[in-house]
Structure 1
């Protein structure tokens, strides 16, 4: 029995995005069955030339970066600076539901392919864009002309301001959340607008600013500052409002322990062989433990640092919110990851080896999203796409 089509089967998405943020957004749609047509310049998306590469891949058509976020998509190459390329693009738009781009503000306007122009061609069109500081159509930022990448969004949006070992040493978060969080929010916005278009026949402009998305992700800094006047700063591996809640050293690495509820604190104390701490009124309630944070962290660390991660897991797993700090090798060996199919094999052109990329985290009982195909070759699906949209080769 063949798998059911994805929940977004039938949704046609014209994808002009490059780098990480935009392609991650359209990947989320493609994973759920949307037909994502990646429109690339004649030389291809620049990230095709990014690594890493398989050891035996001498062709280097694309690397792991491109493979990961462009799976499940089809490719057609168009020169949007040419009259013919723009005409073909307009034909695609006429038959599509969504256009997604992440150029700087004004680029599409200068190409003669503005939202207003495309809306006249297809009134149902959902036009979605992702920029560092948004689009003037939805709110003119003083930074609208600034280019932005993940690290810029993390810096300005607040996440670096509360991440780091000490108050005066901010740190970049490891994964590119300045890209992937806005991308995820944009995917949600696209689906909300598509739902509205289905009901009313009316498309709209959907805009995400990377800065805004990271600020929204860091929501607690807003209410902390508003309610108390405090300016939150990096606090290492702890939490300003919960205790114990953070990372603790083990004999062979680090573990995460979280006891926001008082009963978890009592269970932790019992597991540590220190039940008296669970009954001590100085530590009975979360706010009490926050007030005596140094004592609490010292007591937990004195226990964890004598044990391996596996031993802490044996003591706490299933009883207290706990997890070991995993590296990639740990993740590849974890039975949870296998059971949830979170590492997916894909073929890689130019290599005899199977590549492994991250899977689809959203689980659905009827229309499960999946990795159906590798990332496309440049212009690989041009003939099929032109035929589907009734576009001649000369158009």
Structure 2
């Protein structure tokens, strides 16, 4: 089972906020022993990022919802590595660890004898992962940066948001820190590849993972569109830049997403709409035509769709084999029958906070044996970990 795939791997987690902790949570979910190192009296910044907060049963402690999203299945220790005692303790821990993940500015850990070269001398096969905003070198390497910065700098916000000339026009960030999360996923994949390589070569690696690199990479098809055409893709709101109709429409009683993937599906949609001539309209006959005339198509379909309830369209679209989906609030998401069937909502029992709601890692499928330990209190496992041989 994947939830035990890394049960012989130990990870020293010197990261905080989201990109690094998202990565190390993946490793912990896969069975690795992840030791989260936090600064005494301060801890991971996101412990204070709220509201909302969970309240302990005695009312004396709080735990931010943000922190719970990326720190389950870990052990927490408090060490001050700016002091000699803390550095010595970390050096001893490194000897027992397979992976180290850190997200300090380039050059920071070298000042404390915790850079890759120093730790490689203690553990030659160490996989050392540096997650930074701009990478380990280059003109911006020393600069700090957060997800939001890279959503803009990497191009994502240039093609996300309402188009110029329309109400509410302007760039828009994603509703989640998508660059941080994507960086955590890329880092996870890179670590697994490095561990696999280590089994063949016996050598560790220094992985240089940059949020800017990830932000550029996840432009995906929009990036490819630019590289092929030489034109910056404009903001298209909820519409797809390469497919039409593929966007949000408003039925009489609410919104839904219509996703037509080819010309055959469009012809079926026209039949469902009671206007078969629409499929032969030269403006809409092929997908390329529809993309070129997206505004006109939206106006025509919008009027037809608005005349019926969402349930009407749902039944017809499903019968025709055309993809659609509701625009759900999170209350509807966790109440959805398929989400419930997939057991995406899990709970971890904590002696001080009770049952903490968490979201299952999609990598693990519905494995009921997968660990689900609660996010740790700051320094909760310091004596336990430092006392281990």
Same fold by TM (over 0.5)?
A: yes
Question: Which residue is 1:145 aligned to?
Answer: 142
Change (3 A) 1:361 1:80: same
Q: Which runs of 5+ in 1 are unaligned?
A: 391-395
Deviation readout 1:249-308 (Å, 9 max, x if unpaired): 233332111213112212222222223323444422211212222232122212332334
Greater alpha carbon shift after TM alignment, 184-193 vs 48-57: 48-57
Are 1:33 and 1:369, in contact at CA under 8 Å, matched by a contact in 2?
A: no
Task: Note the 1:75-154 alignment, pairs <5 A.
Answer: 75-136=76-137, 140=138, 142-154=139-151
Report the Cα offset of residue 355 of structure 1. Answer: 2.9
What is the CA distance between 1:169 and its match in structure 2? 0.8
Conserved in 2, the CA contact under 8 Å of 1:248 and 1:256?
A: yes
**How well do the aligned residues superpose, as a CA RMSD in angstroms?**
2.1
Shift of 1:55: 6.2
Q: Secondary structure at the match of 2:215?
A: helix
State how far apart, in whole Å, the 2-side matches of 1:12 and 1:351 are: 27
Give the structure-1-normalised TM-score: 0.90
Give the match for residue 310 of structure 1.
311
Give distance in 2, aligned partners of 1:246 and 1:199: 47
Query: What is the alpha-carbon distance in structure 1 between the residues aligned to residue 267 and residue 105 of structure 2?
Result: 53
Moved more, 328-337 or 277-286: 277-286
Contact (CA 8 Å) 2:54, 2:62: kept in 1 or not? no
Out of 270-279 and 39-48, give the one that drifted further: 270-279
Summarize the Cα distance change of 1:340–1:197 in structure 2 as closer, same or farther, 3 Å threshold.
same
1:164 corresponds to: 161
Partner of 1:317, secondary structure, is helix
- Please list every run of 5 or more consecutive structure 2 residues that lacks an aligned counterpart in the other structure: none
Equivalent residue for 2:29, pick from 8, 28, 31: 31
- Partner-residue secondary structure (3-state), 1:62: strand
Aligned to 1:377: 377
1:360–1:371 Cα contact (<8 Å) kept: no
C-alpha distance 193-109 of structure 1, shift in aligned 2 (>3 A): same
CA contact (8 A) 1:21 1:182 kept: yes
Cα distance between partner residues in 2 of 1:338 and 1:364: 13
Q: Distance in 2 between matches of 1:132 and 1:369?
A: 36
Q: For residues 216 and 368 of structure 1, do their structure 2 counterparts lie closer, same or farther at Cα, with a shift above 3 Å needed? A: farther
Name the CA shift for 1:369/1:106 in 2 (closer, same or farther; >3 Å): farther
Q: Is the 8 A contact 1:360 1:370 kept in 2?
A: no
* Counterparts in 2 of 1:309 and 1:17: CA distance versus 1, 3 Å: farther
SS at match of 1:362: helix
1:302-338, CA deviations, whole angstroms, 9 ceiling, x for partnerless residues? 2332334333322223611211111111102101111
| Worse-matched range after superposition: 295-304 or 147-156 | 295-304
Residue 10 (str. 1) matches residue 24 (str. 2): no
Higher strand share: 2
Q: Is the 8 A contact 2:3 2:29 kept in 1?
A: no
How many angstroms apart in 2 are the aligned matches of 1:183 and 1:95? 23
Residues 29 and 36 in structure 1, CA contact (< 8 A), matched pair in contact too: yes
**2:44 corresponding residue in structure 1:** 45
Q: 1:56 to 1:98 in 2, by over 3 A?
A: closer
Equivalent position of 2:344 in the other structure? 342
